[in-house]
Structure 1
Amino acid sequence: MERGGSGLTLPNIAHRSGDLRGAEIYKREYPPAHYSLKINSFSLLSATKVEKYESGIFEAGGYKWSLSLYPKGDKKNNGAGHISLYLAIEETDRLHHGWEVNVNFRFFVLDQARNMYLTIQDADGAVRRFHELKREWGFSQLISLETFNEESNGYLVDDSCVFGAEVFVMKPMGRWESLSMIKLEPQHNKHTWTLDRYSKRARQFYYSDPFSLCGKSWKLKFFPNGTLQGKDKFISLFLELVGALDLPPKRKLYAEYKLRLLDQLNDNHQENKYNHWFCPSSVNWGSTELLPLEDLPKPANGFTYNDTVKVEVEILVMSEVKVFSGGV
């Protein structure tokens, strides 16, 4: 026996195959989303020689379905003493050859006394495959007749009852994406920018011409006298993703990179390492304190040579997102 979320002791249930398996059983307030079947005079239906009742056809997930209810149980599949309920796919002649429909479904029995729905579904969200040789899935032991007929349980009131179904078709994904983190080859991951006539540069900041690295367009943004907390004390340098404002919603681009001020005499460069997710709200990232201003003009440092300053970016790792249509 299993105990459902309602606090009632509920019977084990069986699939059409007859193999006994557990199921997730609980109660909820809201009614079935796709189909409900109300039966009046249930006792009279049970007293007839009718083995099963087949509901009308309803649509869910782009396919046609019906319910098969066995009021005295599907005895051929170990359903004696229970109500059996199955979901059947209909109008399959309209489907292409070799059709297959994958479905997650749940059944309902209305507790009319409490206005709650006893809900029965495959455990762990199992998906059932409907195809030419298997057009019906369900539970041969949906609920025992003893539990169903007990008036205090509320399933059969004034000889009427309500069953229901929800059918969720698992369709192939229309779009999916692949994220890769790419480690870049040294010969293709650097760009150097030369700022000539450096002593004449008086603007607050300068942009390099756009350049391409790793299939993306970038710019360097240079502040000769610093910015933010580095203003008037340091040189500031940032890497900016061109077109970041045009990225699709929620899309970001990750980069791990180095920004460096080149020592043109001794190769004793000043560099810092960064990692950042570039996006419309954060188009650039870098250093506000790359080098103290007082160290820039010192000849021994080699940062200025023939009135030029050279800065460089080296991208080490970058994300790549590809979007596809169809299945994975």
Structure 2
Amino acid sequence: MTENSVDGYEAEEFAAGGHKWKLVIYPNGNKKRNVEGHVSLYLELAGEYSLQGDWEIYVDFRLFLLDQKRGKYLVLEDAFAKENCFHREMLRLPGFDRFMPLEEFTNASNGYVVDDTCVFSAEDFVCKERTKGKRERLLTTNNAVMHRQVWKVENFSKLDDPFYKSEPFVAGNQKWEIQFYPKGIAHGMGTHLSLYLALFDFKPTPPVFKIFAEFCLRIVDRKHANHKTWSGKHCFSATSSSWGLPKFIRASSPV
């Protein structure tokens, strides 16, 4: 493998702690980590989908290299972590980028390579498994979308229902609606008008999906142009699909 510049080699899978594992060796060093002149060796959880998305596995592990002349194993352990964690985003542990200098590894007097054969071994103990809980994904856009939506409410004095909403509109590839409580809501009930921006018919896709928006809500003063405006920022989600002010303006204020 060394002479033919094999990049990486994955050994056959083996079972331990209810999961399948495999050793991965880079005989000329892991080029992805800019390693040269060394053998790189890693323990990997076999199978991209062997773990559910919200689970973690904590493992103690040791890697071995056999000195075939003396019948002894060289033992390597992770000196930086007592328990190493596997999860869906990191199936391979950091392992050992510089497991051993290639010159030392191939030196016949050391007994690691005999008759062009070397022997590696792995020992791993699954300490515990646990769920990671909820995950979130943050997607950003380089070109923010500006949208202006006007909602004209007719016959305001005859509004009897506690809640009204505008026709849905599209902004930033997402449907929205304006929500209006003429008699108020929460701690604005009976004294104020309440106004909110809300997601319309939002169907989140796992993992947890949120939309961050900057927006302003406004009630227009058509006589004096003394508009009532409130600016807000919010991460909209399935559990927090609307945002605004319960005390947007006093019910007795001229509109």
TM-score between both structures, scaled by the size of structure 1: 0.42
Larger Rg: 1 or 2? 1
Q: Corresponding residue for 2:195?
A: 237
Q: Secondary structure at the match of 2:209?
A: coil
Q: Corresponding residue for 1:101?
A: none
Q: Corresponding residue for 1:293?
A: 251
Q: Secondary structure at the match of 2:141?
A: strand
1:180 pairs, out of 141, 162, 178, with 141
Cα deviation for residue 125 of structure 1 reads 7.1
Would you say how many aligned residue pairs link Structure 1 and Structure 2? 173
Q: Secondary structure at the match of 1:199?
A: helix
Check whether the contact 1:223–1:236 (CA below 8 A) recurs between aligned residues: yes
2:104 pairs, out of 137, 141, 146, with 141
Q: Secondary structure at the match of 2:190?
A: coil
Check whether the contact 1:241–1:278 (CA below 8 A) recurs between aligned residues: yes
State the Cα deviation string for residues 175-205 of structure 1 (Å, max 9, x = none): x9963253334xxx11011110111101111
Q: Corresponding residue for 1:108?
A: 64
Check whether the contact 1:218–1:240 (CA below 8 A) recurs between aligned residues: yes
Check whether the contact 1:34–1:165 (CA below 8 A) recurs between aligned residues: no
Letter in 2 for 1:184: V
Report the Cα distance in structure 2 between the residues aligned to 1:144 and 1:119, rounded to whole angstroms.
23
C-alpha change, 1:146 and 1:210, in structure 2 (3 Å) is same
Question: Whose strand proportion is higher, 1 or 2?
Answer: 1
Report the Cα distance in structure 2 between the residues aligned to 1:118 and 1:142, rounded to whole angstroms.
14
Q: Corresponding residue for 2:148?
A: 190
Report the Cα distance in structure 2 between the residues aligned to 1:85 and 1:165, rounded to whole angstroms.
16
Check whether the contact 1:261–1:270 (CA below 8 A) recurs between aligned residues: yes
TM-score between both structures, scaled by the size of structure 2: 0.52
Report the Cα distance in structure 2 between the residues aligned to 1:247 and 1:258, rounded to whole angstroms.
27
State the Cα deviation string for residues 200-258 of structure 1 (Å, max 9, x = none): 10111101111122332111110001111111111101111113234443111110000
Q: How does 1:38-77 map to 2 (within 5 A)?
A: none
Cα deviation for residue 119 of structure 1 reads 4.5
Aligned-residue sequence identity (percent) comes to 26
Letter in 2 for 1:108: F
Report the Cα distance in structure 2 between the residues aligned to 1:272 and 1:125, rounded to whole angstroms.
53
Check whether the contact 1:247–1:280 (CA below 8 A) recurs between aligned residues: no
Unaligned 5+ runs, structure 1: 1-15, 18-31, 36-58, 68-77, 79-83, 88-105, 129-136, 149-160, 167-175, 304-328
Q: Is 1:266 the counterpart of 2:229 in the alignment?
A: no
C-alpha change, 1:283 and 1:178, in structure 2 (3 Å) is closer
Cα deviation for residue 279 of structure 1 reads 0.9
Q: Secondary structure at the match of 2:151?
A: strand
Check whether the contact 1:239–1:286 (CA below 8 A) recurs between aligned residues: yes
Report the Cα distance in structure 2 between the residues aligned to 1:238 and 1:294, rounded to whole angstroms.
19
State the Cα deviation string for residues 22-44 of structure 1 (Å, max 9, x = none): xxxxxxxxxx9957xxxxxxxxx
Report the Cα distance in structure 1 between the residues aligned to 2:143 and 2:13, rounded to whole angstroms.
46
Q: Corresponding residue for 1:90?
A: none
Report the Cα distance in structure 2 between the residues aligned to 1:116 and 1:285, rounded to whole angstroms.
61
Q: Is 1:163 the counterpart of 2:83 in the alignment?
A: no
Letter in 2 for 1:180: T
Report the Cα distance in structure 2 between the residues aligned to 1:139 and 1:177, rounded to whole angstroms.
42
Q: Corresponding residue for 2:166?
A: 208
Check whether the contact 1:220–1:240 (CA below 8 A) recurs between aligned residues: yes
Q: Corresponding residue for 1:170?
A: none
Letter in 1 for 2:102: F
Q: Is 1:199 the counterpart of 2:157 in the alignment?
A: yes
C-alpha change, 1:178 and 1:259, in structure 2 (3 Å) is closer
Check whether the contact 2:39–2:97 (CA below 8 A) recurs between aligned residues: no
Q: Secondary structure at the match of 2:217?
A: strand
Check whether the contact 2:165–2:177 (CA below 8 A) recurs between aligned residues: yes
The list of structure 1 runs, each at least 4 consecutive aligned residues, that deviate by more than 6 angstroms after superposition, is: 84-87, 124-128, 143-148
Check whether the contact 2:169–2:177 (CA below 8 A) recurs between aligned residues: yes
Check whether the contact 2:64–2:74 (CA below 8 A) recurs between aligned residues: no
Unaligned 5+ runs, structure 2: 4-10, 15-20, 28-36, 42-61, 67-72, 79-93, 112-117, 124-136
Letter in 1 for 2:192: F
Check whether the contact 1:233–1:293 (CA below 8 A) recurs between aligned residues: yes
Cα deviation for residue 294 of structure 1 reads 1.8
Check whether the contact 2:145–2:171 (CA below 8 A) recurs between aligned residues: no
